[in-house]
Amino acid sequence: MVPVDDSVASFAAQQLAVLIANNFKSTVTVLSVVSHPLMNPSVQSMAAEIGAQEFAPGQIVRGEYSMPRQVAPPDLEGALSSKMLAEISDWYHQRGNETADEAVRLFKQEGIPAERKVVEHADKADSILREAEDGKYSLIVIGRTGEEEKETQLSGTTEKVVRHSKIPVLVGGERKKLAKVLVPVDGSKGSDKALKLAVTLAKKLEAKITLLHVQEGGFFTLKPEVAKRVGKHILAQAARKTKGIETNEKLESGDVGRKIAQIAEKEDYDIIVMGSKGHGSIKRFLLGSASSHVLHYTNHPVLIVK
């Protein structure tokens, strides 16, 4: 499933989904969630004061390309009547339908079977999560930011989807290939699940895998030589599961999340595949601190495995 909107990040996620779907012979469902501020009753009461410029059509910008929207926003001057509410809703629905249609065309042009769903809901993340569960999908591919965010940091919608999804979530980034795969390992069940999926990806994509084990500072209450042996053992155990794939091993120390993000950026990996929680995660959290840090501090694609 690929949730879509008019953002550059969404388009990057769609391109990433094309890579995955082509190699796995997948069928794609494009999901457009129609959501706007006037769905909130408290906002409706103030809508008469909102200037029409807040709903200006602007342009769809994707990389170096831009195109004017074909849909004009409704006139928001005057009192907010039920008729005006309907006009506003219709305008957003038209936008949502056009966005979904455009995404479906992209996939079909690449020879990928695709269908679309357009739903209306005040909370985009809730709609995505509900559809993911009801539709029995195997993967969600989603943009890092939404159309409303001007910064490149992780959007609230994407973070909520990653935290609460029961299936793997691939948070997109701008990549034309997936040839270098970084897989952090720590010997946990979550790490093993991530490695298994990374191996499947690497075989399909003919990619190389780098196994990374990061030893946190607290671990060094052990003698350095003992800590090093433990780390090498974890890497060796993981490497045995990557037979037939070109594999490198890295042993590092420091803060786990920071080190993963630093290495991903410095060595320009195409994708990071990691578990949602490792040994260091507190069970009450639905997303481990290392996974959360990586999602927030790298612009590379990150596949979070549940």
Q: At 86, which CATH number?
A: 3.40.50.620
pLDDT band at 53 (very low <50, low <70, confident <90, very high): very low
Name the DSSP letter for residue 74. Answer: P
The alpha carbon of residue 121 and the mean position of all alpha carbons in its chain are separated, in whole angstroms, by 20
Q: Are residues 186 and 144 in the same domain?
A: no
Tell me the average pLDDT of the chain.
85
Instruction: Quote the pLDDT of residue 137.
Output: 97
Pair (29, 165) in one structural domain: yes
Determine the pLDDT at residue 289.
85
* Tokens (6 digits) for 45: 């009461």
Looking at the DSSP bridge assignments, the partners of residue 181 are 209, 271
Q: Are 84 and 220 found together in one domain?
A: no
- Domain edge (last residue) among 171, 195, 222: 171
Q: How far is CA 59 from the centre of its chain?
A: 24
The whole-angstrom separation of Cα 13 and Cα 225 is 43
Q: 59-62 and 65-68: which strand pairing?
A: antiparallel
**256 has a pLDDT exceeding 70:** yes
Asked which of 153, 171, 189 is the last residue of a domain, the reply is: 171
141 with 13, same domain: the answer is yes
Comparing 121 with 58, the larger pLDDT belongs to: 121
pTM here is 0.83
Same domain, yes or no, for 60 and 114? yes
Please give the Cα distance from 170 to 58 (Å, whole number).
29
Are 235 and 143 part of one and the same domain? no
Question: Same structural domain for residues 18 and 159?
Answer: yes
Residue 297, both tokens: 């501090």
- Provide the strand spans (E) within 56-174: 59-62, 65-68, 114-120, 140-142, 169-171
Residues 158 and 278 grouped into a single domain:
no
Q: What percent of the chain has pLDDT over 70?
A: 77
Indicate if 128 and 50 belong to the same structural domain: yes
Rounded CA-CA distance 46/36 in Å is 14
Q: Are residues 167 and 194 in the same domain?
A: no
Q: Are 171 and 34 in contact (CB under 8 A)?
A: no
Q: Which pLDDT band, with edges at 50, 70 and 90, does 220 fall under?
A: very low
What is the tens place of the pLDDT at every residue in 169-199? 999 988 999 999 999 999 999 999 999 999 9
- 264 & 120 share domain: no
Instruction: Provide the residue range defining the domain that includes 209.
Output: 180-305
CA 44, CA 231: separation in Å to the nearest integer? 57
Shared-domain flag, residues 17 and 149: yes
Residues 4-39: tens digit of each pLDDT: 999 999 999 999 999 999 999 999 999 999 987 766
Q: Which of 129, 153, 171 is the last residue of a domain?
A: 171
**Residue 283: is its pLDDT beyond 80?**
no
Considering its fold, how many domains does the chain have in total?
2
